[in-house]
Amino acid sequence: MNPPDPNSDDPKLSALLREAHPAPVLPPRFEEGVWQRLQCAERAAKTASPHGWLEQFVGSLLRPVYATAALVLVVFAGTWFGIRDGEGQAHRADRIRYIAAVSPFHRTAP
Amino acid sequence: MKLHPTSLVLAALLVGSAMFAVCYWTASRACIAFGTQRPDDLAWICHEFKLTDVEMARIRLLHEGYLPKCEAMCVRIDAKNRELAAVLDVATNISTEVERKLGESAALRAECQAQMLRHFQEVARTMPVEQGARYLAEMRHLTLGMQGSLEDVMTHPSHERP
């Protein structure tokens, strides 16, 4: 049996079809609910995949705000630790200089 | 082209580590270079014991008064070391001459240590009590530790030490 032609312009047939399939009354905010369910399903699919969480994490990490903050933190930490180390080395060098100045034993090797 | 998340994380870690290393190295070198721009024998004392300008001025006077004595002692120790080496070079056994030179060397060492300790005590007296005690303890260790380090090596050979 052939399916009915949807482009039929028979008014009687159209009226019959409307009566046979009345349009249901949609609940309030139906469309919004559908989209929310779709988004939830997408998120669940991403999380379920082996790299889903990683993709999300990298995605958030590579946002300009976080990337800039991380870069500033790395630069600050590197400089701070470098200064500490440099000060320590300079301090040790100063100590050796003082000892060499006041101790004849550290100037003359037997 | 879409990169794998793991590659992105590794690339970010690599870039971060490189940035850290560059900043660390640059800051460290700059600090050392800045520190060596002030060739002052007393920079360590000033910084370590947090001394005031007045205390530093007194210590500088003592230090400058001590330096000629220290130089003279250096010359004597150097000469005595050369004498001892010359005697030891030709000696096939420990002769009375070697023993005498060793005794002279030990006496000179003791004289030098006494002179050093006298100077350190004078310097310590110009500092606040607590700082002076700490300075003196460190300098005493330096002065007497020269013999102690040898004895330590003899008592605890290197393979036994932690």
- Percentage of chain B lying above the pLDDT 90 cut: 34
- Residue B78 is predicted with a pLDDT of 86
Residue ranges making up the domain that contains A55:
29-61
Inside any domain, residue A72: yes
Q: Choose between B46 and B37: higher pLDDT.
A: B46
All residues at 6 or more sequence positions from B126 whose CB lies less than 8 Å from its CB, including other chains: B55, B58, B59, B62, B132
For residue A66, the chain B residues in CB contact (below 8 A) are none
State the smallest CA–CA distance between residue A68 and chain B in angstroms.
Answer: 11
State the smallest CA–CA distance between residue B83 and chain A in angstroms.
Answer: 10
Same domain (yes/no): A77, A38: no
Using the Cβ of B150 and the Cβ atoms of chain A, whether some distance falls under 8 Å is answered with no
- Residue A2 is predicted with a pLDDT of 54
For residue B32, the chain A residues in CB contact (below 8 A) are 86, 89-90, 93
pLDDT (average), residues B53-76: 90
- Residue B158 is predicted with a pLDDT of 39
Q: Does the beta-carbon distance from B109 to A105 stay under 8 Å?
A: yes
Q: Does the beta-carbon distance from B31 to A110 stay under 8 Å?
A: no
- Alpha helix (H) residue ranges in A21-63: 30-48, 52-61
- For residue A6 the two structure tokens come to 């949807």
Inside any domain, residue A108: yes
Same domain (yes/no): A56, A99: no
- The yes/no answer on whether domain B43-145 falls in CATH 1.20.950 is no
For residue B16, the chain A residues in CB contact (below 8 A) are 70-71, 74
State the greatest distance between any 2 C-alpha atoms of chain B, in Å, as a whole number: 88
In 3D space, the residue among B36, B32, B17, B27 whose CA is nearest the CA of residue A83 turns out to be B27
Report whether pLDDT(B124) > 90. Answer: yes
State the smallest CA–CA distance between residue B121 and chain A in angstroms.
Answer: 13
- Residue A78 is predicted with a pLDDT of 95
- Residue B146 is predicted with a pLDDT of 59
Using the Cβ of A68 and the Cβ atoms of chain B, whether some distance falls under 8 Å is answered with no
- Give me the number of domains chain A comprises: 2
Same domain (yes/no): A46, A71: no
Q: What is the ipTM of this complex?
A: 0.74
In 3D space, the residue among A56, A5, A30 whose CA is nearest the CA of residue B9 turns out to be A56
- For residue B111 the two structure tokens come to 């004289």
Using the Cβ of B14 and the Cβ atoms of chain A, whether some distance falls under 8 Å is answered with no
Per-residue pLDDT of B94-117, as tens digits, reads: 788 888 989 998 899 899 989 999
Inside any domain, residue A7: no
pLDDT (average), residues B67-71: 89
Q: Does the beta-carbon distance from A93 to B12 stay under 8 Å?
A: no
- pTM score, two decimals? 0.63
Mean pLDDT, 10 residues at a time, chain A of 110 residues: 60 83 79 89 71 73 84 94 92 86 70
In angstroms, rounded to a whole number, what is the distance separating the alpha carbons of residues A76 and B27? Answer: 10
Please report which confidence band the pLDDT of residue B157 belongs to, taking 50, 70 and 90 as the band edges.
Answer: very low
Report whether pLDDT(B148) > 50. Answer: no
Distances (CA, A) of A105 to A65, B40, B77: 59, 20, 8
| Chain B from 89 to 108: CB within 8 A of any A CB | none
Inside any domain, residue A18: no
